[in-house]
Amino acid sequence: MSPAVTRALGLYAALVVLIIGVGVGMGIPYTTRMLVEAAAYALIALGLNIQWGYGGLFNFGIMGFLMVGGACVTFISYPINQKFWNSDGPMLLGRALIAAIIGFLLILAARNAHRIGIKGGWKTTLIVIAWAISYVVFRSQIDPATAYIEAQAGFVGGLGLPVVVGWAFGGLVVAGIAWVVGRICLGLRTDYLAIATIGISEIIRALIKNMQWLTRGTLTVSPIRWPVPLPEDYQAKGMDTFSALIYARGGYFLVAGAIVAAVMVLLIRAYGGPWGRMMRAIRDNYIAAGSMGKNVTARQLEVFVLGSILIGIGGGILVSFAQIFDPGSYQPINHTFLIWVMIIVGGAGNNWGALFGAVFIYVVWLLSEPLAQLLFGSISDWSSHVGWGAIPDIESRSLQMRVFVLGLVISIALRYAPRGLIPEVAQTSR
């Protein structure tokens, strides 16, 4: 076995030992909860690994895609809100949709104005006017519709379909958004793409937070169903709370774990085969790859969309597990940069590296909270013992320790293991 493989196995063994340690220290229910969330983050990390590791595309908008994934699973799996369907809400929304389509066609016509002889400056002004008109028309339809829905039915409610359909739908919608974003922004240089994707993520956050009629925004939506029996269902069958928690969360982990395993198999086969070879060539030298017959822009778009699908599904799994969709709880640190740390520490471009980074960093991220409290508690005791008095509000301060630790981990990783703990190994052909 090559040294790289033995090193990877050693790291994974250490990870298992760490998880067992957490199990002993913090109890099984806590650990199973951690594993489920770690599996969701693993999926998200694999998605980012496809975009950055395979394709060298700088996606800083992970938070936005996560929120869309979460909103979609809420919309699909939440029970049907009869008040909405019985009101004229659907009809109003229909008209708003038609207005949007008309506006879109208007813009499309303006963009092809050069066919009827309108060129250059005139054409751009025509496009701007088309955008303005369609925006005003759409706003004239959507504002009354949303006001009516919020007044009458609170919000659109869900479709009551199975949760797994919600995850898939989330992946699909995110793929659509990623396709549009990719078409616009993929020509940009890496650091411009980073800024553009952050911007898109902020727009998505603002939209979801304020579209009360669809997502109830800051009023949050709960409870959201699980794909597997809930702890309460087991308790109903007479199981004590402790084992009910383990069974329920264990069931959820099996589903999430199965998805991660399936995705790993597909990715390893794809990245190991001709497709992976082509993507590595494009990332290595896109000019040469272009001259060797690879349609670079199409391939980069493919990679961007594929990665976004996994991120969307991961977002859905997280929201379903938490059983609450709260747009306000999404922070760039926890939902964008944390995943970047996972990839950098794990090893960009290597599926096993990304998986390892995701689980390892998530365990560290979760553990840092109790550990920090422990640390601050002892310092505070020591300082009050010495007479300086306890450190004020340890509770919130120790939480912030994690943010500092995260930054420290990135800085150290870039200095001493820039290619990650399980770096991408050149595929020496068998």
Q: Which is nearer to another protein, 41 or 321 (CB)?
A: 41
Q: Which is nearer to another protein, 189 or 237 (CB)?
A: 189
427 scored as a contact of another protein (CB under 8 A)? yes
Report, in Å, the least distance between residue 427 CB and another protein.
7
Q: Which is nearer to another protein, 133 or 296 (CB)?
A: 296
Q: Which is nearer to another protein, 173 or 344 (CB)?
A: 344
Report, in Å, the least distance between residue 290 CB and another protein.
5
Binding positions for another protein, 316-335, rule CB under 8 A: 332-333
Which one of 68, 321, 402, 423 is in contact with another protein (CB under 8 A)? 402
Binding positions for another protein, 47-76, rule CB under 8 A: 58
Torsion of CA 241, 245, 248, 254, to 10 degrees: -150
Task: Single out the segment in contact with another protein by CB under 8 A; choices: 80-88, 156-164, 287-295, 320-328.
Answer: 287-295
Q: Which is nearer to another protein, 9 or 206 (CB)?
A: 206
116 scored as a contact of another protein (CB under 8 A)? no
Which one of 22, 406, 421, 422 is in contact with another protein (CB under 8 A)? 406
The contacts of residue 228 (CB under 8 Å, 6+ apart) are 248, 251, 252, 254, 255
Report, in Å, the least distance between residue 87 CB and another protein.
22
Report, in Å, the least distance between residue 80 CB and another protein.
28
Q: Which is nearer to another protein, 80 or 292 (CB)?
A: 292
Which one of 280, 321, 339, 421 is in contact with another protein (CB under 8 A)? 280
Binding positions for another protein, 255-274, rule CB under 8 A: 266, 269-270, 273-274
CA distances, 291 to each of 36, 54, 287, 399 (Å): 45, 20, 6, 52
429 scored as a contact of another protein (CB under 8 A)? yes
Length reported for the chain = 430
Report, in Å, the least distance between residue 17 CB and another protein.
27
114 scored as a contact of another protein (CB under 8 A)? no
Which one of 292, 370, 374, 384 is in contact with another protein (CB under 8 A)? 292
366 scored as a contact of another protein (CB under 8 A)? no
Which one of 6, 222, 295, 378 is in contact with another protein (CB under 8 A)? 295
389 scored as a contact of another protein (CB under 8 A)? no
Q: Which is nearer to another protein, 35 or 198 (CB)?
A: 198
Binding positions for another protein, 169-228, rule CB under 8 A: 184-185, 187-192, 194-196, 198-200, 202-203, 206-207, 209-210
Q: What is the 3-state secondary structure (H, E, C) of the chain?
A: CCHHHHHHHHHHHHHHHHHHHHHHHHCHHHHHHHHHHHHHHHHHHHHHHHHHHHCCCCCCCHHHHHHHHHHHHHHHHCCECHHHHHCCHHHHHHHHHHHHHHHHHHHHHHHCHHHHCCCHHHHHHHHHHHHHHHHHHHHHHHHHHHHHHHHHHCCCEECCCCHHHHHHHHHHHHHHHHHHHHHHHCCCCHHHHHHHHHHHHHHHHHHHHHCHHHHCHHHCECCCCCCCCCHHHHHHCCCCHHHHHHHHHHHHHHHHHHHHHHHHHHHHHHHHCHHHHHHHHHHHCHHHHHHCCCCHHHHHHHHHHHHHHHHHHHHHHHHHHHCCECHHHCCHHHHHHHHHHHHHHHCCCCHHHHHHHHHHHHHHHHHHHHHHHHHHHHHHHHHHHHCCCCCCCHHHHHHHHHHHHHHHHHHHHHHHCCCCCCCCCCCCCC
407 scored as a contact of another protein (CB under 8 A)? yes
Which one of 213, 340, 356, 362 is in contact with another protein (CB under 8 A)? 340
- Do 176 and 239 meet the contact criterion of CB atoms below 8 Å apart? no
Q: Under rule CB under 8 A, how many of the chain's residues touch another protein?
A: 74
Report, in Å, the least distance between residue 414 CB and another protein.
5
CA distances, 325 to each of 75, 304, 332 (Å): 10, 25, 17
414 scored as a contact of another protein (CB under 8 A)? yes
293 scored as a contact of another protein (CB under 8 A)? yes
Q: Which is nearer to another protein, 243 or 373 (CB)?
A: 373
125 scored as a contact of another protein (CB under 8 A)? no
